Amino acid sequence: MRRATGFAPTEPPQPSPRRHNAVLRLYDAPLHRDWACRLTAGLAALEAVSVMTSPGPAGAPPRWLDTLLAVIIFTALFGVTPTWVRLLLRRRRRRGRHHQPPPPTSTAPPPDTTPLPDTGPPPPDTAPAPPSTPPTRLTPPPRPTPPSYASFLRQTTPLRPPAAPRAPAHPETGHPPAPDPLAAARRSLPHPVARAVHEMQRAHTPKDRYEALLETAETLAATVAVTAAGLLTAHGAGERNLAELRAALASGAGTTFGTWTVWLHHLCRAVRERTDVVPGLADVLRDEPDMAVRPDDPGLAQFLDRLKGERNHPAHGAKPRTQAEAALRVAEHRLTLERALVSARFLTGLPWLLTVSCAYQRRTGTFEVVADHLMGDHPDFDRLTFPCPAPVADDTVYVLSPAGPVALSPFVASLYCAQCGRREICHAHRAGHRSRPAAYKSFGRGHVIPYPELDDEIATLPGPRPPRR
């Protein structure tokens, strides 16, 4: 009994293709399909049977010898000779086919016989002759110079990333796809912002994604503000703005989303007067006249203001209650966050570093700095080594500006968080006030880490000294 396999019966095998003159240069393969081979074999068999069955005369040679000679002569004359003639005809036909010209593939259009207007004689060729190549002079190779932190900055974090090779445009669209702002932020912005974007992308529910979007906006505002504050302090610029930030830290209430956005609004005039202090910030912070001129791109501070307004809604009872409502909120404000991240791309030219060691090099007269590159969303930072003309402090967060490394303390620090069980990148949260000590706040989890020494560092900032408590 056969089992049913469930497969349809296969098709019958196809016959093998015929190959001309493939056997002994005379017969076609396969042999059973060639009429010449069948004719030769039939004549040989017929002649053998006829000789074997006919009586021979007395004294004749043996019967097998007569049969062999008769078969050879008869098949050679009436079997092999016609096959050889067929071979000659095929070769002549093949040579005639090779000498024939190929047929035309397309029909050319008839020539245009419309007379052309007389445009006069062609202009003379006035192209200048190429200048002669000067003789090559052998010059000694230049003396090598020790690398500097400026060359390291250009090699590791260029202000403008190199353009990717241009691929041919798709015939239907004609435009290459636009880069993803979230992916670019995760790859090139400082670690607090890049990690916040990563947390937003890996959120599973719309409510979690909504909370992560607002956390990313606040982290972006704090990152831009503390970077600008550290550079202003090092260059002795924007004393009025630094006094305002010092007063906000000394109030004891702690920094909020509104603290950073209001301070960035007041920073427009200072960065316009000193564009070299924070390169690129003056182009993205715009005042009221610029907002009227460019309504489609009002500036980084205005984008952050819109997200701050959305952050205030949950505090006043307007928190999304369902997953569908949270998804609508995310779809509504995601574009604003992406445009804010695009405006903050100037931070790629101001990389953050966490110094590990600083050693003096006697031969070059510089300091060899080993630091962690606090850029991108990966928690394992790349270890960098570069020369610096001045010493730097260990275990301190620096921003590598075109003028050199600038310490971000007391605005940014790397501290151990007891709740997380590891070191975290933190920003200044508040100075000491009554029973609450001065503290930092981690970018990643928002944990408040007490740090009493922050009072003395905040007191060194410009502005009136706060009253003793």
Q: Please tell me whether residue 462 adopts helix, strand or coil conformation.
A: coil
What tokens were used for 108?
């050319």
Range in 24-28, 249-253, 325-329, 398-402 with the lowest mean pLDDT: 24-28
Instruction: Name beta bridge partners: 27.
Output: 23
State in Å, rounded, how far the first CA of the chain is from the last one. 102
**Higher pLDDT residue, 431 or 100?**
431
**Higher pLDDT residue, 21 or 309?**
309
Give yes or no for residue 164 having a pLDDT over 80: no
Distance CA 173, CA 12 (A): 48
pLDDT of residue 92: 83
pLDDT of residue 110: 52
Strands (E), 297-381: 352-361, 366-373
pLDDT averaged over the chain?
79
What tokens were used for 80?
């092999």
What tokens were used for 271?
């960065």
Cα–Cα distances in Å, from 394 out to 108, 358, 369, 409?
79, 7, 9, 12
In the chain, the amino acid numbered 295 is P
Distance CA 422, CA 416 (A): 6
Q: Is the peptide bond before 146 cis (omega within 30 degrees of 0)?
A: no
Distance CA 469, CA 463 (A): 18
Residue 135: half-sphere exposure toward Cβ, Cα within 13 Å: 2
Of 277, 283, 190, which Cα lies nearest the Cα of 242?
A: 277
pLDDT of residue 371: 95
Question: What tens digit of pLDDT does each residue of 253-279 get?
Answer: 889 999 999 999 999 989 999 999 999
Indicate the pairing of strand 422-430 with strand 412-417.
antiparallel
**Higher pLDDT residue, 293 or 361?**
361
pLDDT of residue 3: 46
DSSP for 171-223? TTT-SPPPPPHHHHHHHHSBHHHHHHHHHHHT--SHHHHHHHHHHHHHHHHHH
DSSP state of 380: S
pTM assigned to the model: 0.63
Q: Please tell me whether residue 227 adopts helix, strand or coil conformation.
A: helix
- Label residue 111 exposed, middle or buried (CB < 10 Å: 0-12, 13-18, 19+): exposed
Read off the pLDDT band of 139 (50, 70, 90): low
State the Cα torsion 205-208-209-212 to the nearest 10°.
-160
Give yes or no for residue 9 having a pLDDT over 60: no
Question: What tens digit of pLDDT does each residue of 80-118 get?
Answer: 888 888 888 888 887 877 666 555 554 445 555 555 444
258 touches 301 (CB < 8 A): no
- Label residue 213 exposed, middle or buried (CB < 10 Å: 0-12, 13-18, 19+): buried
pLDDT of residue 154: 53
Distance CA 210, CA 194 (A): 17
371 touches 380 (CB < 8 A): no
Distance CA 437, CA 448 (A): 11
State the CB neighbour count (10 A cutoff) for residue 128. 5
Q: Which residue has the tokens 């992916």?
A: 183
49 touches 70 (CB < 8 A): no
DSSP for 289-309? HHHHH-TT---HHHHHHHHHH
Strands (E), 328-418: 352-361, 366-373, 382-388, 397-401, 404-407, 412-417
Cα–Cα distances in Å, from 324 out to 157, 207, 251, 329, 362?
41, 9, 39, 9, 65
Distance CA 219, CA 376 (A): 14
Give yes or no for residue 165 having a pLDDT over 90: no
Q: Where are the alpha helices (DSSP H) in 236-285?
A: 239-250, 257-266, 268-273, 281-284
DSSP for 79-107? IIHHHHHHHHHHHHHHHHHHHSPPPPSSP
Averaged pLDDT for residues 175-194: 86
392 touches 355 (CB < 8 A): yes
Distance of CA 249 to the CA centre of its chain: 40
DSSP state of 6: -
Give yes or no for residue 214 having a pLDDT over 90: yes
